[in-house]
Structure 1
Amino acid sequence: MSAFPSLAIILVAVLHLTVSGIATASHPDFQLLNVKQTLIGTKKPTPLKTFEYHEQSNASESDQGKWKLKLVHRDKLFSNTTTAFHDHSHRFLARMQRDVKRVASLVRLLSGGGGHDGDAAYEVNDFGSDVVSGMDQGSGEYFVRIGVGSPPRSQYMVIDSGSDIVWVQCQPCNQCYRQSDPVFDPANSASYSGVSCTSSVCDRIENSGCHAGRCRYEVMYGDGSYTKGTLALETLTFGRTVVKNVAIGCGHINRGMFIGAAGLLGVGGGSMSLVGQLGGQTGGAFSYCLVSRGSDASGSLVFGRGAMPVGAAWVPLLRNPRAPSFYYVGLSGLGVGGIRVPVSEDTFRLSELGYGGVVMDTGTAVTRFPTLAYNAFRDAFVAQTANLPRASGVSIFDTCYNLSGFVSVRVPTVSFYFSGGPILTLPARNFLIPVDDVGTFCFAFASSASGLSIIGNIQQEGIQISFDGANGFVGFGPNVC
């Protein structure tokens, strides 16, 4: 098949929600992937710089009174604390290796269940932060930069919608990995206060302990990473918004895949996440836009009722008592080229015992579906792209194409059918992605041997996603980012 040099159309990452009538392309069942434009994102990332916290630098005030912090894709960052001077292929393969570990840990966790719930009473106005992706930092997928302590010390934090603990590495550091910013020293913070063993906050921590009258915490992650230290109440600063008495872990013994970041900002559904601690003041409401690969723009993470958009397509959130940290959604089916794939809705159902279901996760890159569903989904896509030259599979991807001679290609639409009617049609760059810098693109989904489905961050990129915890809904759109 010949290339299409006359097609000078640049695909804009447009969200199509059939319930809101937002269109994607001129033909409802096909769209264009601009190969050359997408490959721009495979260039070497820019250096990640260490700098002190300035309240004006990380936030902007909206006309609704909420605060946003910048969110940047980790592909665009580069840390001199790592040896990440690699080409796109190396970065991609490293990302897939981390992703396999992430998914394996989620499957183990959700198979075993567990978690605590509870209430919190911290006051805060609507606020937010820019988010930075952390792939080249050797840790989580996306980073956010916030101030910790008084005066605030600026730190990069991994954003994780599947975790509940907020923690940073702390001095004295008995065992710490390398991070981009100086390690936080609680001795230099006027607002740091250790939590006593008898505190109700300590009771809400799994695997809590007691040492010298202070509450000790320990968090183990599925990939072997861990953090151990003292639980404390501390002030966090988001732009010009100051949030006092946030329970955080002050980690003195830390190890794992967090290199570059100072720690982790859990925004899961449990009571000890930042969202849970803010409680009724934000109503569990937050919104994020994960910036698309290759873009110089910033994404955002925003907290508060003011973050809830008008005109979004809302899908009910499902709660799993076995895993209260995770955000489940009802998925009824998949579509390719406007045709629904023959997969039973039961394949995606969350059982009464808490197994299976569909989790939305910022920490997983590639969307996973149970094997039978994935195979039918992939085969439907392959059948409608028979005119594109195939390439060998790469890493976890078994369906790849050689698009090195193309300027743009016409591909079928890919859609998620949610329970209740909404249909999310993905931008082409969210399901056919470059895996090297020479034109190999792969169908960015994978199979899961378990019954668990995960909607990963590649598929979420460029789409405004909002969580309304008080009313139990997740919204898609109406804005793109």
Structure 2
Amino acid sequence: LRGTLYSRIKTTPPLVPSSALVTICSNPEQGICSSLMAPPSCPLRFLSLLLSTILLSAAEPPPLLLLPLTHVLSRTHNTTTTPTHHLHLLKSAALQSAARARHGRRWQPHQVSLPLSPGSDYTLSFSVGSRDPHTVELYMDTGSDLVWFPCAPFECILCEGKPSYPPPKGSIPFPTASRVPCHSPSCSAAHSSLPSSDLCAVAGCPLEIIETSTCSAFPCPAFYYAYGDGSLVARLHRDHLAIPAGVADALQLPNFTFGCGHTALAQPVGVAGFGRGVLSLPGQLARVSPHLGRQFSYCLVSHSFEAGRLHRPSPLILGRTGSSHEPFFAYTPLLHNPKHPYLYTVGLEAVSVGGRRIPASPQLRRVDRQGNGGVVVDSGTTFTMLPAALYARIAEEFDRKMAGSGRERAPDTEAETGLGPCYHEGGGGGNRGLLGVPAVVLHLGGNATVALPRRNYYLRFSGGGEKKVGCLMLMSGGEEEEEGPAATLGNFQQQGFEVVYDLDGRRMGFARRRCAALWESLSSSSSPSRG
């Protein structure tokens, strides 16, 4: 029993002086309580009933589910990173972040639910199938709202050199999987809210059956799903899902809906969408266990693109962790996006650099009726992307403060990585190497202030030989006049924070954490899967 179990005895009115009212709560915050009247003549029967109530309370779903997020860097066998490899990693991450941001601004009118590019940093694993289950490994992505993975036969175009996991064997995803019918709301959601009648007509269902909405024998047509740097064609299936994979007490989700991809462009690995859509993992989990699906958080272990730092997984927490740490969170309201409601969007009021406050434009503070503006909080984008005008003012002030500390620009590194401004560094390591780097603070809506650790926005690495360089890890994402979200808060800037997505409270929270220690604390308090 993970909830707070306690008893509270209240004396009843004088008319029943020898009775007592006992209230037992397995989760007092959610009001999960039972009350029993104890008659004096049946103490044994009362104790038996009391014990039964306690056991039933103990059978309530756990208040949280702990899952490990694995960074792709931790899969490498080399714990040291060469200068060439480091530059390659930074350039790849910068290009992927830029592509994701550009795609976020090219919203196509015929695809209301078009997501961002899938994240390529953090993965988690599920077991799918009620008989002979298969383990699938997927990227965790808050910028999309579909769970999908490759199914044999699987063809991936332009996937050379990208990480991949073998798809389940067989011509269908699993023997126990079933196709989603064309009249299902899930089918409509996968096809950007097209009417079920249209989808059933495409599937070949006779008109008389379409008109009675009983077209269950015809499966949902294949759908096209586009990301920033790739796409796929998939079909909807349902089967048993267990999370996490390979654990005896894993959470069981029957009739889970997922996309089975057979053809993809530059997308060799599946994606677990954590957006606010009905087909996302939290969306489907909320229907089975609302207290697990309506709030989740993660805490990304700091890595600085060095595999040797990733000794522990990053905790992904489904459910509520309790209110004991509430004062440490800076909460900002979630903004509603009428065109792209599955995105987690917040308002940015200003950015402070070295104590100087730089106001953000109105487009960063709110979302208009056309769905433009705001800042998307995204686990799948590596670096934070800002409008060109705001980025230029931040970089200018940052450069002014860095010049005052005696650092010189490193234009060659800027050209190689796509980042900037970059500087030549001395030989000092650790926190000493960060002396003189100005503080950067995000001022979000609702008076939420998030002070970034210096390693979250200034990365020092080897530039070849014994030389070291350092770069500002923020990027320019284009002009504000373009459509779509105005900015993206990437996962590199989220390292070392517990980031809470509170759907019921319509807010997001940020609190500094030692993420590896948080994983140890939560995983050791119970079994490896439940916190």
TM-score interval for Structure 1 and Structure 2 normalised by the shorter chain: 0.7 to 0.9
Q: Choose from 274, 277, 287 the match for 2:284.
A: 277
Q: In the alignment, which residue of structure 1 is the partner of 2:27?
A: none
Alpha-carbon distance between aligned partners in 1 of 2:189 and 2:410, rounded to the nearest angstrom: 51
What code does the residue aligned with 1:221 have?
Answer: A
Match of residue 95 from structure 1: 93
**Structure 2 equivalent of residue 433 of structure 1:** 459
Cα shift at 1:314: 1.4
Cα distance between partner residues in 1 of 2:322 and 2:144: 21
Contact 2:496 2:512 in 1 (8 A): no
Equivalent residue in structure 2 for 1:144, among 124, 139, 156: 124
Larger CA deviation: 242-251 vs 278-287: 278-287
Q: Which structure is higher in RCO with an 8 Å CA cutoff and minimum separation 6?
A: 1
String of CA shifts for 1:171-219, please: whole Å, max 9, x gaps: 2335575864431246574541211122232122226663782213323
Give the secondary-structure state (helix, strand or coil) at the position aligned to 1:87: helix
Q: Specify the alignment match of 1:370 in structure 2.
A: 387
Question: Is the 1:336–1:380 contact (alpha carbons within 8 Å) kept by the matching residues of 2?
Answer: yes
The equivalent position to 1:337 in structure 2, one of 354, 364, 370, is 354
Contact 1:467 1:473 in 2 (8 A): yes
Correspondence 1:288 to 2:317: no
2:326 counterpart SS class: coil
Q: Distance in 2 between matches of 1:222 and 1:180?
A: 17
Kindly indicate which of the two structures has a greater share of residues assigned to helix: 2
Displacement of 1:91:
2.1
Distance 1:437 1:70, change over 3 A: farther
Alpha-carbon spacing, 1:111–1:453, altered in 2? closer, same or farther (3 Å): farther
Assess, with a 3 A threshold, how the Cα gap between structure 1 residues 416 and 174 changes in structure 2: closer, same or farther. Answer: closer
Scaled by the length of structure 1, the TM-score of the pair is: 0.74
Q: Distance in 1 between matches of 2:461 and 2:111?
A: 34
- CA deviations on 1:213-249 (whole Å, 9 max, x unpaired) are 2213323324452222321112222132222211101
Using the aligned pairs only, state the percent identity.
28
What is the distance in 2 between the residues matched to 1:470 and 1:218? 31
Hey, what does 1:33 align to over in structure 2?
A: none
Q: CA RMSD in A?
A: 3.1
The match for 2:7 is none
Structure 1 partner of 2:326: 310
- Alpha-carbon distance in structure 1 between the residues aligned to 2:77 and 2:142: 23
Shift of the 174–299 alpha-carbon distance from structure 1 to 2, 3 Å rule, reads closer
Q: Give the match for residue 154 of structure 2.
A: 173
- Contact residue 348 and residue 360 of structure 2 kept, 8 A: no
**Cα distance between partner residues in 2 of 1:340 and 1:455:** 19
Q: Residue 245 of structure 1 corresponds to which residue in structure 2?
A: 255
For 1:149, the aligned partner's letter is G
Alignment correspondent of 2:222: 217
| Residue of structure 2 equivalent to 1:31 | none
Letter in 1 for 2:286: G
Task: Give the whole-Å Cα distance in 2 for the aligned partners of 1:268 and 1:426.
Answer: 24
Alignment counterpart, residue 197 of structure 1, candidates 175, 178, 182: 182
**Number of equivalenced pairs:** 393
Partner of 2:74: 76
| More displaced 10-residue stretch of structure 1: 103-112 or 404-413 | 103-112
Distance 2:103 2:386 in 1: 16
Other structure's SS at 2:203 match: strand
Aligned to 1:162: 143
Return closer, same or farther for 1:101/1:201 CA change in 2, 3 Å cut-off.
Answer: same
Contact 1:92/1:436 (<8 A) preserved: no
The structure-2 alpha-carbon separation of the partners of 1:350 and 1:113, relative to structure 1 and needing over 3 Å to count, comes to: farther
In structure 2, runs of 5+ residues without a counterpart are 1-60, 193-198, 205-216, 245-249, 481-485, 516-531
Q: Secondary structure at the match of 1:171?
A: strand
**Displacement of 1:457:** 1.0
Find the aligned partners of 1:246 and 1:153 in 2 and give their Cα distance.
14
Q: For 1:320-359, what aligned pairs fall within 5 Å after superposition? A: 320-345=337-362, 347-359=364-376
The alpha-carbon deviation at position 139 of structure 1 amounts to 6.6
